[in-house]
Structure 1
């Protein structure tokens, strides 16, 4: 099963981390066959938020939500189950100064929903 591990943290704390530690774990994940993709993100100040409401485009500088902890990067991993995904996520170095949200991917191509019928 595929999981997205979203890495969050205070930008100052994340910036203090040694990139080499993150790259070493990334290499380990890739060599084990668990890592499908991973990237670090530029600081929140570089973000742009896009919305379309009633056919009108709105573009805002910065992230949508004001928060202390910002999205710093992600790992797309393959794991047997949630327990294995949690174990893999717990070793992502920024988990020591921030947090890692683990979310299963929804198989939209294999099981598309037909709309808002609740």
Structure 2
């Protein structure tokens, strides 16, 4: 079963990261590498990435055949999507176990969402 693990940043999590020493930041990044390596070894890894600053976002609206864009994030909220993992694992429980291994999880908000199987509709 596929799950999307969404990692959100917020002012508090950015502050925690900003207070870390360079060495602590390197250790955290090494934790991401270790997690990815473990997920690859278990066959659960599909893709993962970090997202650019929300200020670089483009909102795209398609209405009545016209495409319009605006700068900035879609909504003015404290939590902004910072990165993600797409995994293929046995259960929601396993996906939740994976979240606990994300170095940022102790000071961020992480959401796990099952991917819908729409193959029967295609």
TM class, shorter-chain normalised? 0.7 to 0.9
CA RMSD of aligned residues (A): 1.9
Equivalent residue in structure 2 for 1:111, among 92, 108, 120:
120
Equivalent residue in structure 1 for 2:91, among 81, 92, 114:
81
Output the TM-score relative to the length of structure 2: 0.81
Which 5+ residue runs of structure 2 have no aligned equivalent? Answer: 19-24
Looking at structure 2, the residues matched to 30 and 112 of structure 1 have their Cα atoms a distance apart, in angstroms, of 30
**Matching of residue 56 in structure 1 with residue 56 in structure 2:** no
Equivalent residue in structure 1 for 2:47, among 26, 37, 44:
37
Looking at structure 2, the residues matched to 13 and 5 of structure 1 have their Cα atoms a distance apart, in angstroms, of 22
Which 5+ residue runs of structure 1 have no aligned equivalent? Answer: 114-118
**Greater helix percent: which structure?**
2
1:14–1:97: 8 Å Cα contact kept in structure 2?
Answer: yes
Output the TM-score relative to the length of structure 1: 0.83
